[in-house]
Structure 1
Amino acid sequence: MMEISVFPSVFESTRAQLNNVSNTLLEGLKIEHNDESYIIGELALKEGLSPHRLINCAPGELDFEILFRAALLMAQQNAGRNFSLTLGFPFALYQVHQNTAKQQLTKTHDIIFDSSTYSLNGTSGKQAISVSLNKVFTVPEVAGSIIALRYGENPETEDFIVLSLGYGSCEGVVSTKSGIIRRTAISTRGIRYAVNLMKDELQKEHFLGFKTEHQLNVAFQKGNININKRSVDLANIKQKVLRSYYSNIIRPALLNAFQDSDFDTCKKLYLVGGGAYFSELTNQIKSEFEDVLTVIIPDNPHTLAVRGYCINTQKQTEDDVSVGIDLGNANTLVCVNKQSPHKE
């Protein structure tokens, strides 16, 4: 059975001593890296002043190192300290980062973390563990969703189009029984475009102070934001900016990439990623393509890619334990499957 952990992809350095401020490791992620302490995820949102991360960071960059180490710390709880994993990159960055990721990450990672944030027993405090990665596989992010759709619980056997509505990027491609059609691959701006439009709209009437991009994204998802001790309903703004996002970004990309012949062979369009939860966006896509495609939003669309990464690790290694890590721009997801792979 797959176990999935999710934490916000933000961090902040800290000098504070944080004891018993959370209930679990997931809620109390605090690690050391290069003699600096960092709070990560929920703890950064709760205790930090400016939780942040770079969009589409690369292996070797601080943001990647901090979030990846936090993801390994979560993975080892269920996977142990010796395993292989798969992670993904956007289409536009996949060729640039795939070899670097394998070379830099396939090794033993020494991780120092502080368990006093969530533990009061005798072993609380700074602890060191080593996690050995036997093999690191990389795939384009949208390929992770395709793998999950074709080899997951209800395998898809027909040709289809998949559109991944992520925060940092929106990606799509035609998937056939024999592979993807690269001509149809698109990689363009993600939900972040709409969040920045919302910020511009809000600043016309409100002073937003020092709210970070991630804090604005959380408000965008919730549909309201607290500004100067007053709750502001974002429903109308959200509808407006998502309409602009679809018209300006997604629609042109789809119409330029897909030909009539693609609709002859594909009868389904899968919407995946966190953006698939926004009905204001998905309804526009359904309205555009309902005459030629059945638009499907699978269960838990935000976890589909990381489930695909985990399945890919299992297929590549046939190990008893497989791991997938999705260092998303909004959230980091860690998937561990401890079941033995099915062998023909």
Structure 2
Amino acid sequence: MNSLTGGVGAAGGTGSSARLSRRRVLGRLAAASGGAALALGTGAGTARAHGGVRTYVLVHGTHSAGSFWTAIGRELALRGHRVVTVDQPLHGTEKFVPKAYQAQDLRALATEPSPVAALTLDDYERRVTGAVRRAARLGGPVVLVGHSMGGVSVSRVADAVPQLLAHICYMAAFCPSRSMPSLNDCAGSPEGRQAITPLDQLIGDPATLGVLRLNWRTAERRDLAVFREMICADYSDEGFLRVLEGMQTDESMTAYGDRAVGRAGTWGRIPRTYLRMGRDRTVATALQDRMIAEADELTPDNRFRVHDFPGACHLGPEDPTRVVDVLHRLPG
């Protein structure tokens, strides 16, 4: 900040005129950063070689935030696309942080109420649909991508505004079907039960709190080992710590149970892609295969394009360019 104010002072003089110049510059910076949150990249770049500039709307998964997409979004922008990262309600920049979590008072953390408990999948759908509507006004195709729990929002939004979407993509994401209509149903299936469920790591009673609460700041080696195996066993030690820093404690139990089945006449008309992670211990690979198969049964003339990442865990490859290579070349 010193270099910014010093530079402005030199350009704008001293005293009141310098302060006025600083305010003007800071105001411009604030306006620019607000716009960047909606569109990280707007140049043509290599996008022209692959069908022109698109807008990618990226939806995070459970216990996460829009910042999950930072590396992937940056690379997409550098390839000439617009990028919109969505924070679901009470996530990311507006996330709820229990006071007891900051203090690491586990006894209090087990009972501290959470506003996240009131959230439903309708709230998540509205947030993403709003982002898609704004993105569509920018012009050019809109591609909606969801990771993990973000897949249920993709299905809901694709049903709500199919005319605004050129392509939908599920990255190790839940894609409920008629036989498994909610995230809970998917996770409770025989294939879903092959995943790691962190029952011993839960803080408090989910039925009482209304949220699934996890202590990502734990120092317990056993808990850390479970978290790592569950989401990113193939990451470096440093990468794993960065992942933990971006996680939040609470996720709505109601949203897990809400229905999110795409309809053949709306969701089923949109070209779709699945990024399949071969070592996923959160959305088990066998469950990914079943969800893909059941979606294809519903719309046999519009099937998933599947891109396999055999050695990747739930968060995908630590090198973001591998995922971006696929997203950049999506048809539609």
Determine which structure has the larger helix proportion and give its number. 2
Q: Which has the higher contact order (CA 8 A, sep 6+)?
A: 1
TM-score, normalised to structure 1's length? Answer: 0.29
Determine which structure has the larger strand proportion and give its number. 1
TM-score, normalised to structure 2's length? Answer: 0.30
